[in-house]
Chain A
Amino acid sequence: MGQDVASNEAPLSGPEVGPEAVIRSAERSDPDMVRGHARQRLVSMIAGPIWVGASVLVMRFWFRYRIADVRRVRATYRRIRAESKGPLLVCANHLTMVDSFLIAWALGSGFYWLTHPDELPWNTPERTNFGRTRFQRLLIFIAKCIPITRGGAREDVGDVLERVKYLVARGETACIFPEAGRSRTGRVEETAAAWGVGRIVGAVPGCRVLCVYQRGRRQATWGDWPEPGDTVDVSLACIEPKSDVRGVRRSRDLAQQIVRQLMRMEEEYCDARK
């Protein structure tokens, strides 16, 4: 299975302000969040050799996963990265609880992430799945996670989105699943598009979106993790969503563009597997 790469090289459409304005605004309005983010980033970086190394070892030798044509996937990712130093958000389809780890492993080796720590995506796992015990909370703190309670108080969700906007504007990366949860049908669904991802993209000028379609060859539908020994196919496409509408409608429009791109990648994946 090859990696289908589409790169939409739309020029930055003259935003009135750059990502720096998002950073300055966050520094002014929420200095506690900015300090907390700096603290977690530092801890994750220092502990990187342990948790990044352990994650790779578990995926490779415990679960015996394999990324199909991994060198090509990583070369494509590095090329997309080299095309622009602007903000980049990773958006992927969501089938298992280890998707974030698989995506990071597909995009770069453990050594790559240790030498490019700010490119290693932050994640927003569901708090009820990953933040139940003190130990889990410690692990997700170290592993660049910002837990979110889906369907929780709107202000809490808004705080997480503000932090992701801030870190993406800073040139760090986050991995977001636009469908919000794992797809219960096993397929990418436009109606499942959560608008939060559109809100991030709409708020950070020049933000590109790296769409990642990934699926284990034995992954018929959603689950906790791919079958041990499975080979995971990964395809990448970089887009820069744009919208002429405003407000909440704009966020939904941007989110739908991302989900439609993932749907196209899924179609290509299914066609190639026939």
Chain B
Amino acid sequence: MDRAEVMDRVVKILTPWVKDEAALAKVSMETNILEDLKVNSARLVDVVIAFEDDFDIEIADEDVDKVNTVGDAVNLIAGKL
């Protein structure tokens, strides 16, 4: 699976938690998940679990500390596929 495909799936998974639809419309690898998309930080865990389920991977707590942008999430997931 290439990164563009991972990116598409990541954005699709993120969509239900996004509070800023306008930011979602122009999402890029640099888009910050919490600050730009306004995903509730307490719900980030649900997003990560959705990543685990969708991509059939396991993500450690410490890995999540490195995820600030959509690109960080894509790179983390791509590295585990």
Residues of A bordering B, CB below 8 Å: 150-155, 157-158, 180, 192-195, 199, 202-203, 246-249, 251-252
Interface residue B28 (Cβ < 8 Å from any Cβ of A): no
Q: Contacts of B68 on A, CB cut-off 8 Å?
A: 153-155
Contact partner, A155, options B40, B45, B65, Cβ 8 Å:
B65
Q: How far is the CA of A85 from the CA of B34 in the complex (A)?
A: 39
Chain B residues 36-51 with CB under 8 Å of chain A are: 40-42, 44-46, 48-49
Q: Contacts of B46 on A, CB cut-off 8 Å?
A: 252
Q: Contacts of A195 on B, CB cut-off 8 Å?
A: 42, 44-45
Q: Contacts of B41 on A, CB cut-off 8 Å?
A: 150-152, 157, 180, 194
Q: Contacts of A246 on B, CB cut-off 8 Å?
A: 58
Q: Contacts of B42 on A, CB cut-off 8 Å?
A: 180, 192-195
Q: Contacts of A203 on B, CB cut-off 8 Å?
A: 61
Which has the most chain A C-beta neighbours within 10 Å: B40, B48, B52, B65? Answer: B65
Q: Are B66 and A155 in contact (CB under 8 A)?
A: yes
Q: Are A157 and B49 in contact (CB under 8 A)?
A: no
Q: Are B52 and A249 in contact (CB under 8 A)?
A: yes
Q: Are B64 and A248 in contact (CB under 8 A)?
A: yes
Q: Are A154 and B66 in contact (CB under 8 A)?
A: yes
Q: A151-B41, A194-B42, A195-B45 are in contact. Are A248 and B60 (CB under 8 A)?
A: yes
Secondary structure of the A contact surface, majority rule: helix
Interface residues on B, range: 20 to 34
Bits for B56-81, please: 1 = Cβ < 8 Å to A, else 0: 00111110111110000000000000
Q: Looking across the interface, which residue of chain B has its beta carbon closest to that of A156?
A: B65
Q: Are A248 and B66 in contact (CB under 8 A)?
A: no
Q: Are B58 and A247 in contact (CB under 8 A)?
A: yes
Q: Are B66 and A252 in contact (CB under 8 A)?
A: no
Q: How far is the CA of A62 from the CA of B77 in the complex (A)?
A: 54
Nearest CB in chain A: distance from B10 CB, A: 16
24 contacts between A and B (CB under 8 A): A150-B41, A151-B35, A152-B41, A154-B44, A154-B64, A154-B65, A154-B68, A155-B65, A157-B41, A158-B62, A180-B41, A194-B42, A194-B45, A195-B44, A195-B45, A247-B58, A248-B48, A248-B49, A248-B59, A248-B61, A249-B49, A249-B52, A251-B45, A251-B61
Q: Are B62 and A151 in contact (CB under 8 A)?
A: no
Q: Contacts of B40 on A, CB cut-off 8 Å?
A: 151
Q: Contacts of B62 on A, CB cut-off 8 Å?
A: 158
Q: How far is the CA of A194 from the CA of B64 in the complex (A)?
A: 14
Q: Are A199 and B61 in contact (CB under 8 A)?
A: yes
Contact partner, B45, options A151, A158, A252, Cβ 8 Å:
A252
Q: Contacts of B60 on A, CB cut-off 8 Å?
A: 247-248
Q: Contacts of B44 on A, CB cut-off 8 Å?
A: 154, 195
